[in-house]
Structure 1
Amino acid sequence: MVATLGFGVDVGGSGIKGCTVDLEAGKLHGERIRIPTPDPSKPDAVADVVKDIVDQFGWRGPVGVTLPAVIKRGVAYTAANIDKSWLGTNASELFGERLGLAPADVVVINDADAAGIAEISYGWPDDREGVVVLLTFGTGIGSAVFVDGKLVPNTEFGHLEVDGHDAETRAAASVKDDKGLSWSDWAQRVSRYIRGLEDLIWPDLIIAGGGVSRKADKWLPLLEVRTRVVPAELRNDAGIVGAAVAVRENMHG
């Protein structure tokens, strides 16, 4: 049986990753390519890297691209960890022109939303019921919220105010590294953040993603929260997979 393939590119603050995706299995189809994010990460420079990655695979079909930004109808309204010149940029048109595709064949989506779509689509079936939140702990904190498996797009719960601070400046994974915090000390900060989130939306499940999900055993048991928290299953490939899935959903939606 021939796999149903899609293509996803995950644009981050430090690297841009892309690969063909097996949409039946929910995993990468081949070895992903990663290229450092240009500095400065202006739209044209990022679009060049996206085209380079797509061309290296010889891919000619529709493409999904994530950005660390609030995206509405293909336009970027925020810019987290990428150049501020993205603000107001029609990313769908930009990538479409660069890739030689119609804007309708390029789906641009918030990076945490893409990771969440991948987890909801291919993770445990039980993880789709009720209010489910994916939190990605990395340079910042990304969030994706689902109600009975349906995405509520562009939530920015990483920026909740906790104890007078933007939450991600206190509890992102990068803060643990920058301040040399122990797992225990960092888990206390994450717990404080999650408790603030719990009081707002009362989730039924929280999925913890980002690079630190690989070491979930070191910190998830230390959390003092009322919601069940489980590690993400797709880990760092979730953005690529979710971007490709978003294209398929757009085609059938």
Structure 2
Amino acid sequence: MTILGIDIGGSGVKGAPVDPARGELLAERVRVPTPQPADVDSVIEAVAEVAAQFDGFGSIGVTFPGVVVDGVTRSAANVDKSWVDAPAAQLFTERLGKPVTVLNDADAAGVAEVAFGAGRDQSGLIMMLTFGTGIGSALFLDGVLIPNTEFGHLELGGADAELLAADRAREVEDLSWEQWAARVERYLRHVEMLLSPRLFIVGGGVSKKSEKFFPLLDIRTPIVPATLLNNAGIIGAAIAAGQAAAGPGPQDPGAIQVDAAEPAPQA
């Protein structure tokens, strides 16, 4: 079964058809710029532009940078506020003419990593963190996604944690790797205190530079970089859409059970 996965990011909307049983892209990704402002109508049209480049897929998975409950986007920290309480799955389904599943972008990346990447075959409590414009989080207990955790918005020193420790903060404040790693360490220690995870998986663009800051982190929990890189959101969205198609309905992926049959090659 071929499913189209589309990942809405802060700078680009990218997508490709996916074999969700193997976690493999079946064609080259197509990317278009994320509209600015990233309001509902503009982003829907950008997603439609990507989807129009492919055919032969049965359903569609779409990631969103915010909380998604029953196909409705409940928050919009890094996109236009018109997304708050928007019936996203319904709107995408009506525009694209196919069943659409919408889920949080970090959750989607985590689903892919636990199925086919750095979290494969790991039991217990696993946490995926994406460091980019903000900090996204995805939490898994024995392979089951606990959706919409939003641990990037924990309070740290009286401020939103992602304002201090996201990769964007490193760039905007021109922090050295040592300065930024100290902030990331403080954040990770706070998460450790709350959750005691067995593994941190770090994604986002900065994961490609893990050798610059991982050695600077003094934490208890094992930490590894994500392996699927920019394809993780696309693959995870497709996995969620595949499970939704087999389950109660296209607008509610429910509790996603990660169960990969074969490993996929690294991106």
TM-score tier by shorter-chain length is over 0.9
Counting aligned pairs with the same residue, the percent is 52
Query: 2:179, 2:121 → 1: CA distance?
Result: 28
- Could you tell me how far 1:251 is from its partner in structure 2? 2.2
SS of 2:7's partner is strand
Partner in structure 1 of residue 141 of structure 2: 147
Query: 1:184, 1:59 → 2: CA distance?
Result: 48
Q: Tell me the amino acid that sits aligned with residue 225 of structure 1.
A: I
Q: Is the 8 A contact 1:127 1:205 kept in 2?
A: no
Query: 2:83, 2:93 → 1: CA distance?
Result: 16
Pair 1:43 & 2:37 matched:
no
Query: 1:29, 1:184 → 2: CA distance?
Result: 40
Deviant stretches of 4+, over 6 Å: none
Please, what TM-score do these two structures have when normalized by structure 1? 0.94
Q: CA RMSD in A?
A: 1.3
Q: Is the 8 A contact 1:114 1:239 kept in 2?
A: yes
Q: Tell me the amino acid that sits aligned with residue 218 of structure 2.
A: E
Partner in structure 2 of residue 185 of structure 1: 179
Higher helix share: 1
Pair 1:157 & 2:151 matched:
yes
The count of residues paired between Structure 1 and Structure 2 equals 247
Deviation by residue 1:98-147 (Cα, 9 ceiling, x = unmatched): 0012xxx2100000000000001112565531000000000000000000
- Could you tell me how far 1:180 is from its partner in structure 2? 1.2
Pair 1:52 & 2:49 matched:
yes
| Equivalent in 225, 228, 234 of residue 222 of structure 2 | 228
Please, what TM-score do these two structures have when normalized by structure 2? 0.89
Partner in structure 2 of residue 79 of structure 1: 76
Q: Is the 8 A contact 1:12 1:81 kept in 2?
A: no
Query: 2:118, 2:180 → 1: CA distance?
Result: 27
SS of 1:128's partner is coil
Query: 2:19, 2:5 → 1: CA distance?
Result: 11
Query: 2:63, 2:118 → 1: CA distance?
Result: 23
| Equivalent in 119, 125, 129 of residue 135 of structure 1 | 129
Label 1:66 to 1:125 Cα distance change in 2 as closer, same or farther (>3 A): closer
- Runs (5+) with no aligned partner, structure 2: 248-267
SS of 2:53's partner is helix
Q: Is the 8 A contact 2:118 2:224 kept in 1?
A: no
Q: Tell me the amino acid that sits aligned with residue 214 of structure 2.
A: L
Pair 1:7 & 2:4 matched:
yes
